Amino acid sequence: MTTVLDRLPEGARVAVIRLRSLGDCVLTTPALALAKQFRPDLKLSVVVEDRFAAVFTGNPDVHQILGPNAASLALLRPHLALNLHGGATSVRMMLAAASGLRAGFSHFRYQPMYNIRIPRAQDILGPEILKMDRTVHTAEHLASAMFHLGVPQTEIPRARLFAAPCSRSGPYAVLHPFASSPGKTWPREHFLAVAKHLRDLGTEPLFVAGVDEDLSAFRVHSCFQGAPLEEVKSLLAGAALFIGNDSGPAHIAAAFGRPVIVLFGSSDIENWRPWRTENAVLASQGGIDSIEVSQVLEAVEHLSTSRLPQPR
């Protein structure tokens, strides 16, 4: 059977529309890798908001990074516009591309705008997934679009990010004590207790946060508030360990193969657990506040046996 990718000419231009957010962008990179592995000739352009563009910098799978503006898409004139976002803005970008092939998931809004409708991931990934009736991971969901378009089904790789690891005088752990809502945020005093434990082990705790997140409570330690995403990538690429709430930096750390401890509150764990890296996922029926410091310290001990200094 002829697939969508079979219909694309040699060196075809493909616009992959993935406007945001940080974790979604990171978990799009396995899908890009699958497409390029199958069709190395494809020229994949990623359409993404400027604040998340650094996720894709240095990635050899990406031909170019475009901002979400109609002029760029009109100039590109891709053979295929693949919308992995699904909202109104992304549909406008898809239409601006004036591509004859417009693909998006069948659960997206504005279905008349698509002439290639991608089924749900469970139907693409096969009978074993259906039999288990399990929630698919976001990386699986995004990769399933490539399988539907014609990439032969294979193991979905780790996310791919590229940055030079940060060079510091000794081992360090990166902690991210914020999330998108209070129900996803572990108490700050708990993070401080974990940071003290790491320092006692001889591992420097580094705190990272976005420009609008206040790290003043953590100033006894090294803090990187509002650092450029390229710098955050470098910090995480060289870290011995990441500890944080379910949020974008956790997925960056996982992409670099760092051991990851993630505290979950209201998020769906199966959708968002760390992808293909050594990890510990902690949650509680009583909410994220009910996760004990001792549980995190146990996870630190379990994950850091060969990576962090041990107490004398």
Q: What is the Cα–Cα distance from 32 to 56, expressed in whole angstroms?
A: 10
Helix axes 138-149, 29-38, angle to 10 degrees: 30
Digits of tens for pLDDT over the chain (312 positions)?
899 999 999 999 999 999 999 999 999 999 999 999 999 999 999 999 999 999 999 999 999 999 999 999 999 999 999 999 999 999 999 999 999 999 999 999 999 999 999 999 989 998 766 556 678 999 999 999 999 999 999 999 999 999 999 989 999 999 999 998 999 999 999 999 999 999 999 999 999 999 999 999 999 999 999 999 999 999 999 999 999 999 999 999 999 999 999 999 988 999 999 999 999 999 999 999 999 999 999 999 999 765 565 543
Query: Tell me: the pLDDT tens digits for 111-131?
Result: 999 999 999 998 999 876 655
In this structure, which amino acid lies at residue 209?
A
CA dist 92 and 294 (Å) reads 49
Residue with tokens 């004859």: 100
Contacts of 311 (CB under 8 A, 6+ apart): 200, 201
What domains does the chain contain, in order, with CATH numbers?
4-149 (3.40.50.2000), 172-303 (3.40.50.2000)
The answer to whether 79 and 9 have CB atoms below 8 angstroms apart is yes
CB 33 within 8 A of CB 3: no
Q: Tally the C-alpha atoms within 13 A of residue 190's C-alpha that lie toward its C-beta.
A: 20
Taking only the tens place, the pLDDT of each residue in 121-173 is 989 998 766 556 678 999 999 999 999 999 999 999 999 999 999 989 999 99
Exposed / middle / buried, residue 143 (Cβ in 10 Å: 0-12, 13-18, 19+): buried
